[in-house]
Amino acid sequence: MAASDTGGAVRRFDDLYEHGFARVAVCLPRVEIGDPAANLERTLALARHADELDAVAAVFPELNLSGYSLDDLFHQSAVLDGSKAALLELAEASRDFRTALIVGLPLLVDGAVFNVAAVVCTGRIAGIVPKIYLPNYREYYEKRYFAAAESRRSEVVSLGGEDVPFGEDLLFDVGPVPGFRFHVEICEDLWSPLPPSTHGALAGASVLFNLSASNVTIGKADYRRLLCASQSGRSVAAYVYAGAGAGESTTDLAWDSHGLIYENGERLAESERFSQEAQILTADLDLERLAQERLRMSTFRDAARRESAAGRFRRVGVAVKRPAAAVALEREIPRFPYVPADSDERDERCAEAFDIQVAGLVQRLRATGIEKVVIGVSGGLDSSHALIVCVRAVDSLGLPRANILAYTLPGFGTSSRTYENAKRLMAALGVTASEIDIRPASERMLESIDHPYSRGERGALVYDATFENVQAGERTSHLFRLANLNRGLVIGTGDLSELALGWCTYGVGDQMAHYSVNSSVPKTLIQHLIRWEVERAEFGAEASETLQSIVDTEISPELVPAAEGPEADNGEPAQSTEAVIGPFELQDFHLYYLSRYGYRPSRVAFLAHHAWGDRNRGAWLDTMPGSDRREYTLAEIKHWLEVFLVRFFGTSQFKRSALPNGPKVGSGGSLSPRGDWRAPSDGGPAVWVEELRRNLP
């Protein structure tokens, strides 16, 4: 179902299986107690549905072929024989399915009844897994009916004239789906102090299935969610849980048809509880993401080595059939991976981001014994956010805001809009505000190096990188000397996105400082942090109004004038950063998946196209404030991704290798050479660009 993970050419760009995803299903039938024939019919109906939905594997509840709440009827030969016959008939019927089925039944083996899960695929029974932990407390009496897995004597069981692997030590490799190895456990196994699936994950299983008949009591659903989330997170795996429900006997208990799918601690799907009808839920698992997480997580590898988990298991192959047509990804891919779409979660994250930045700066000030900070305020996003961090830090330390020495440093390209916003924000925040016009100093520098501008020449060729960097350098020189004069700490304002794209001048304020509070905060998050401040109105109406104007202003370096003469200035920045290096909303998306997970560029493009290519892909696109719902064609995504690859891997690392200190804010990572990102300064982008061009149509 997927292209080779060894770098072979992608056959179908729009197929989820080509990009390391796999669809799984949870099937929740209505059961008939002690009627295997009826349960087989209902199992087949859901199996057909799972197959139509292009699921690789589908899991059913514990003992779904017989029903769970049979009590002593599990020792009735008619029930055992009927359940076995239903399994054999299911195996024969599965020849018509592409989906592997994981079903539950009681099975007589070695003179004892075992509570088992059977893996069935393409006409054969691939393996039988017995339950390990049998609950025998409170309402449970499973040891009365079943033998535990440890009591088995055989490693195979004869079913339909074939020897089938039997044991709790089975792992199933699904081919041809790279990375899809699964483990099966049954209900109480998950509730045990050391779930068997932990060993399965350490032995390489990326997907963990649980067939359950957990009865419902008040609050138990939350505990199930906690268990599944925790097990998937600790195991760096997907956890797929199918719980029994409608039709089970309510003599003393009740059931709620609870189905759950988690991936690395994140819930992907959940059933409707207490439904009286059959249900099926699906989710597209990101197997490559799980593999990348395990690749980076040294403690996972250490645990696998210490446990010698791989040697405990037998491997069983499960061959599934490839769908005839491309399977479209149905998973929600957030447009803004650094910013939660849920408003409550977003507010919580914004508050925490501020707290981390403020805590870092507070500690640096305490450690150095310095009580003043020096910051350049341009009227743009980054410096405005950094200024608010400084205000919160001095407030936390009980220092006067006058200790924040804020400077607006207008140059040749400063627009009236950003200039006025800088002055208004400094006044609203009550900091010590000053202005230094850097144009005279810049002109002297340009004259001393015999730049064409100093000879009166004008035009695009004159407004070159040197012209721009002279201004950036003069600003930084002033700030550092002002810090010397006032015994202050220069606060850097450059953000993660600009560092990734190399959109910063080496040795100046967006790359160099005494302490850089924004260095691990991407541009999209800074935008939302400022919007969050606007909503809270923490610093009053004037500050909020100014911040709103700042977030609505074109992102620009403001180093080149619009034209000669004041009449040409319309008040807006003359340059557009995004016109040169790409839309930050799209480049932040690329940054997240390339730096956080190390995905192939073609896979990043696939994800970006799914998230940004079609406005009808999901209602979640409407939940992000400030988004103008732009869309990008695949050609646009390819273009800007290639720009990103060249700048990120080819021309910018030497700037990141010399970054000042700054706190890591998000789990998306930072580019600090002492933290998340270590890379050679002399590398090149060829392998990434070539992969993108080769695999993108």
Strand residue runs (E) in 16-141 = 21-28, 57-59, 100-109, 112-121, 124-130
Q: How far is CA 334 from CA 40, 346, 610, 621, in A?
A: 39, 13, 9, 8
Indicate which residue of 187, 228, 390, 504 is catalytic: 187
Helix, strand, or coil here: 430? coil
Question: Active site includes 143?
Answer: no
* Residue 227: both structure tokens together: 């268990």
CB atoms within 10 A of CB 526: 25
Indicate which residue of 62, 248, 474, 636 is catalytic: 62
Question: Active site includes 372?
Answer: no
Who contacts 143 (Cβ-Cβ below 8 Å, separation ≥6)?
134, 136
Q: How far apart are CA 172 and CA 318, in angstroms?
A: 6
Residue 317 is classified by DSSP as E
Q: In what order do the strands lie in the sheet with 404-408?
A: 432-435, 404-408, 372-376, 488-492, 515-516
* Residue 628: both structure tokens together: 């103008």
Task: Classify each residue of 424-457 as buried b or exposed e, where b means 16 or more C-beta atoms within 10 Å of its C-beta.
Answer: bbbebbebbbeebebeebbbebbeeeebbbbeee
From 110, 17, 109, 115, select the one nearest 61 (Cα to Cα).
115
Q: How far is CA 157 from CA 111, 114, 128, 166, in A?
A: 12, 12, 8, 6
Indicate which residue of 18, 27, 121, 131 is catalytic: 131
Q: At what angle do helices 381-397 and 523-536 cross, to 10 degrees?
A: 60
From 73, 464, 55, 126, select the one nearest 283 (Cα to Cα).
55
Q: How far apart are CA 468 and CA 510, in angstroms?
A: 13
Pairing of strands 259-263, 238-243: antiparallel
Who contacts 72 (Cβ-Cβ below 8 Å, separation ≥6)?
144, 145
Helix, strand, or coil here: 631? coil
Q: Give strand pairing partners of 213.
A: none
Residue 462 is classified by DSSP as T
Helix, strand, or coil here: 112? strand
Cβ burial of 149 (10 Å; 0-12, 13-18, 19+) is buried
Question: Active site includes 443?
Answer: no
Task: Give the angle 461-504-662 at the CA atoms, nearest 5°.
Answer: 170
* Residue 597: both structure tokens together: 């997970």
Q: Which residues are catalytic?
A: 62, 131, 187
